[in-house]
Amino acid sequence: MTYEEQSWGIALGIVLVGMAVCWALARINFLPHLSGPQNRYKTIDGLRGLAAFAVVANHAPFALGNAGMPVTQFGVMGHVYGNMGSLGVQIFFCITGFLFFDRAIQKRGQIDWADFYGARIRRLAPLYLFVAAIVAALSIRIAGASLDWTVPKTGLDLASIFAFGFLGSPAKIGAFDTTPLNTVIWTLAYEWRFYFFFPFLAYLVTGRVRASIALAIALGFMVLDFATSDSVMWPYFLTGLAGAYLHNRDLRMPAWLGGLLLAVSLVLAIYLPLPLYGWERYGIVTAGFLAAVMGRPAFVAVPALRYLGEISYSVYLLHLPVLFVVSRLLMKVYPNGVSYGVYLAQLAVGVALVAVVSAFTYRFIEHPFLAKRLRRSAPDAGPGTRRPDAAGQERTA
């Protein structure tokens, strides 16, 4: 088997393991609210699930190595995994833009901003602080005697773990680098910056003249981002805006065509060795996302992917700590290295545990806060309205 085939096989296997676990969870109705009457964006839910496990596929092959065991003989370096990770992040940003701008268009910019920011905190903070506490505890435990509590930087590094990426990531706790546990949190700072600017953006997009001004400003910032940055992020939120506009104008394409264009864009984004955040990737991802919005292909709305989408925030934050712990435990059994078969088995078990643990944290940490929000919103929701907290269900990454 060539390296290319190996990479594709492992990446696809990771996604399929996650889908299999979520299929089983759906069979036992582990998340009962998903089996009741709903008015959700099923295609967006499925895309979110794909994005979550694309990020997992980026990190899982390296879990043993990040935990301290050399696995270079398995050839786990290459562009396929990195492409999947960046693709997942880019889809998440598109989804965030879509859901929020869809909400602004539906409400014509009339949004209760105090309620909006309260909902953001309730949506993101409980699970993030829970995972941050786990990361901090593991870091302190592993750092051991190398941790000097008399040095002010120690406190700052520990505080950065709880700061949603605004104080930088990863941190160095004593001699331990937290990269294997929380390297993903850098994207959350982009999400929060988008939230801070969203009231201004919502005002601009809800009037014809203002929308023209907003388009000019957006295009200007897009050009500036591509010209001055090696990591282009903000245009993906604008792709979400375009998707929301197309959706609200009910501009459609045949489902088969939307599915074909989405599938082709996913394959190209994963296969081509392009700059991870360059304009070429942006064009490919944008084409695929807009095709999904307009075509609503059925293959991304299957229950397993929608389950993955529902638990995607937990998957995003927890997959690194779960995989790290599994790898460290395996190293106690195989201190001198593992065979390729054991390596693959560790991947399968670790990824399955990520899905199971994420389902539990969603049900018992995330969903209780979301349910409170939905109960408060219910009196305002008349027949035929969307789920009251549709925008609150988006995945942050």
pLDDT, tens digit, 9 for 90 and up, residues 356-388 = 999 999 999 999 988 766 555 443 333 333 333
Q: Determine the pLDDT at residue 113.
A: 87
Here the contacts of 194-200 (C-beta below 8 Å, separation 24 or greater) are 194/96, 194/97, 194/100, 194/237, 195/117, 195/120, 198/100, 198/104, 198/116, 199/111, 199/113
> What element of type H or E holds 356?
helix 340-361
Q: pLDDT value at position 297?
A: 95
Q: How far apart are CA 367 and CA 245, in angstroms?
A: 29
- Over residues 142-154, the mean pLDDT reads 81
Supply the pLDDT for residue 41: 87
Given pLDDT bands bounded at 50, 70 and 90, which one contains residue 170?
Answer: low
Provide the pLDDT confidence category of residue 215 given band limits of 50, 70 and 90.
low
Q: What pLDDT, on the 0 to 100 scale, is given for residue 58? A: 92
256: pLDDT strictly greater than 90: yes
Cα(first)–Cα(last) distance of the chain, in Å? Answer: 33
Predicted local distance difference test score (pLDDT) of residue 184: 93
Indicate if the pLDDT at residue 53 is higher than 50.
yes
Residue count of the chain, please give it.
Answer: 397
Q: By three-state DSSP, how is residue 173 classified?
A: strand
Q: What single letter denotes the amino acid at residue 298?
A: A
Report which residue type is found at 310.
Answer: E
Read off the pLDDT band of 320 (50, 70, 90): very high
350 pLDDT tier (thresholds 50, 70, 90)? very high
The stretch 230-240 carries a mean pLDDT of 85
What are the phi and psi torsion angles at 231 (to 5°)? -120, 95
Asked if 135 and 182 count as a contact pair (C-beta separation under 8 A), the reply is yes
Provide the mean pLDDT of the chain.
84
The contacts of residue 196 (CB under 8 Å, 6+ apart) are none
Query: Is the CA virtual torsion 56, 61, 62, 67 positive or negative?
Result: positive
Helix (H, G, I), strand (E, B) or coil at 177: strand
Q: What is the pLDDT of residue 375?
A: 53
**352 vs 231, higher pLDDT:** 352
Which percentage of the chain shows pLDDT scores above 90?
A: 50
Query: What integer is the mean pLDDT of 187-203?
Result: 86
Instruction: Kindly report each contact of residues 2-11 with a partner whose C-beta sits within 8 Å and lies 24 or more positions away, as own/partner.
Output: 3/75, 3/78, 4/78, 4/80, 6/74, 6/75, 7/75, 7/78, 7/80, 7/81, 8/80, 10/57, 10/61, 10/76, 10/344, 10/347, 11/57, 11/80, 11/81, 11/84, 11/270
- Band (pLDDT 50/70/90 cuts) for residue 207 is low
pLDDT of residue 379: 37
pTM of the predicted model, to two decimals? 0.88
Q: Comparing C-alpha atoms, which of 91, 83, 81, 87 is closest to residue 58?
A: 81
Looking up tokens 């929380």 gives 182
pLDDT of residue 191: 92
More confident residue, 390 or 186: 186
Break the chain down into helix, strand, coil percent, rounded to 5: 75, 0, 20
Which band of pLDDT confidence, cut at 50, 70 and 90, is reported for residue 67? confident
Summarize the confidence of residues 303-329 as an average pLDDT: 95
pLDDT at 92 over 90: yes
Q: Is residue 137 very low, low, confident or very high in pLDDT (cuts 50, 70, 90)?
A: very high
